[in-house]
Structure 1
Amino acid sequence: MNVKKRNRAGYIACICGLLYALPHFWWGLGVPFGFPGDFAKVPNELLSRVIGYWFMGVLAVLAALFSLSFVYKWGERLPRRLKIIPAWIGCIGLSIWGFSFFVLKFQFAIGRVVSAPSFVEQDASPMAAWGYVWYALFLGWGISLGFAAFFEGKMTKSFGHRG
């Protein structure tokens, strides 16, 4: 088993998690850069900001730290299933979420679907182009988590670990 591949996948997943977290923190501070829509039309309620920006940012940082369990020695102390099962769940969820965006955009491009009336203005916004960045990030994050889990499973099996 090549440990470098496992490490690379874990580092990529960590970077993707941090890249997802950072804009949530600056959006929580009111900075609209990179927001995939009209930031001025987002509800300005405290609970919406706390959950939508700060909580999601902190959750992404924790997920990024989790990804490092595939890289560093301290991760070997965790039971194998406690690492592999959440990583596969994240892989499947994030990959489907990211891939489905591109499928939908392709369906828009070929005229198979049209925006719902309530989303026409948002989809026509120039800021909607940021969706390509964020959904590509979801796709990369999901795929890297899958590779980290796959390599972890192969490595622990080759060493005879059970967990």
Structure 2
Amino acid sequence: MHESDDRHGVMTPGIRGAVASPAHRRGRARWATLAAGAWSLAYAAAGLYWASGGAGFPYGESARARRMGAVLVGLDPRSAGTAVAVAGLAGAVAAAVAYRTPPSEGRRGLRGLAWSIGLVLLLLVPDGRVLLGVGELMLLDAGRLEAGVVNQLWCALGGVLWVCVAVLPRRRPSAITTEDLRRGRRTTYVAAALPLLYAVPRLLWALGVTFGLDEETMAMAADPAGRTRELVFGAAAAGGGLLTLGLTHRWGVRFPRMVPLLGGRRVPVTLAAVPAGLVSVVLVGAGFTMWRVPVAALLGTRLAGEAAFGIGNWAAWLGNLVWLPWGVMLGLAVLAYTRRRKGTTG
């Protein structure tokens, strides 16, 4: 048994806890492979639909997509749809091969392919619109939700599944050390603080204190709809930072006593880890796009996405550049939380 630390809700390290057995890990890996194959077939069908002239093609010309740093934009529906269909069918074949290949046999090539597919779906397909789309859903403004945003969320799901195909067969239980716990807490505190760099300016804009914006953006932020939008975005980021602290404090392990019906009960690992993990995936995908553009500008090149990093909008762009480190640190905090919780008992 492990002894609990009431302050942080952690357990004394150094002993293996309730980790998954090899057979259980293999079972999860096979289910992830089946899901990745089914996802690939579904996306192949979507590609055939777009290639035949179907509506909702997500990679067409879009001024908003270019402003938000999209790379896959302005493509021809027939050729791009055909490419999606071919890639989807190839992914389904790869998933079938991976499903039939025992983990004990050489799977380095399959793992490399799974990593490649996952990273393309998570880093190349998304752009800044995916986070704006989530915000518009919070504003109950689903009418502005573009086909491209739905496609990006679907590709994020596929990317997670393919990364699971690459990672799950290699996972092994390991003892948790005191240094692991300390590192996890430090990571979580950074992940909780980073969203404030995004939230504080937007909350100030919502209060009418505008700065770091050009005249056009300032006018948008100053009207009632703009203030509401900035208030929701800023409050969501600040609230997310507060909830992140639960990944290292006791109330992320047991519900506080004041919570009706659930007070004192253990928090299911998935209840905390899955939502935070999904947010991390979206932040990393959108944030990677935000960093591509300034890095390309520093190198003297231009990308397909022509987002303008105007000096007049420095406050807005600095907030957007926080997405990537925020998402990375949040993902690491989720991994530390999951490992700590699954390595404990009682």
Q: Which runs of 5+ in 2 are unaligned?
A: 1-175, 255-266
Structure 1 counterpart of 2:278, from 81, 84, 89: 89
Structure 2 residue 269 is matched with structure 1 residue 80: yes
Q: Which amino acid aligns with 1:9?
A: T
- Give RMSD over aligned pairs: 2.3
* Alignment-derived partner of residue 56 in structure 1: 233
CA contact (8 A) 1:98 1:138 kept: yes
Report matched runs for 1:1-163 at 5 Å: 1=176, 2-35=180-213, 37-38=214-215, 39-42=217-220, 44-50=222-228, 52-77=229-254, 78-107=267-296, 109-113=300-304, 115=306, 123=308, 125-130=310-315, 133-160=318-345
Contact map agreement 1:107 1:113 (CA 8 A) in 2: no
Structure 2 residue identity aligned to 1:71? T
Contact 2:293 2:305 in 1 (8 A): no
Give how far 1:143 is off. Answer: 0.8
TM-score scaled to structure 1, two decimals? Answer: 0.80
Task: Choose 101-110 or 82-91, whichever is displaced more.
Answer: 101-110
CA gap 1:56/1:101 in 2 versus in 1, 3 angstroms: same
Q: CA deviation at 1:131?
A: 5.1
User: What CA distance in whole angstroms lies between the structure 2 residues aligned with 1:40 and 1:99?
Assistant: 25
Contact 1:99–1:135 at 8 Å: present in 2 too?
no
* CA distance in structure 1 between the aligned counterparts of 2:333 and 2:288, rounded to whole angstroms: 19
Higher relative helix content: 1
Q: Deviations over 1:70-129 (max 9, x none)?
A: 1211111122101111111111111111111122334554134473xxx7xxx2632244
Aligned position for 2:57? none
Contact kept? 1:21, 1:56, Cα under 8 Å: yes
Contact 2:199-2:237 at 8 Å conserved across structures: yes
**Unaligned residue ranges in structure 1 (runs of 5+):** none
- The letter for the 2-side match of 1:49 is R
Q: Is the 8 A contact 1:21 1:61 kept in 2?
A: yes
- Point out which structure has higher relative CO (alpha carbons under 8 A, 6+ apart): 1
Describe the shift of the 1:13–1:48 C-alpha distance in structure 2 as closer, same or farther (beyond 3 A): same
| Secondary structure class of the residue paired with 2:339 | helix
Within 2, Cα distance between the matches of 1:63 and 1:128? 25
TM-score by length of 2: 0.40
Contact residue 14 and residue 65 of structure 1 kept, 8 A: yes
Secondary structure of 1:20's counterpart equals helix
Higher Cα radius of gyration:
2
Distance 1:40 1:48, change over 3 A: closer
Say which is worse superposed, 26-35 or 15-24, in terms of deviation. Answer: 26-35
Distance in structure 1 (CA, Å) of the matches to 2:316 and 2:227: 20
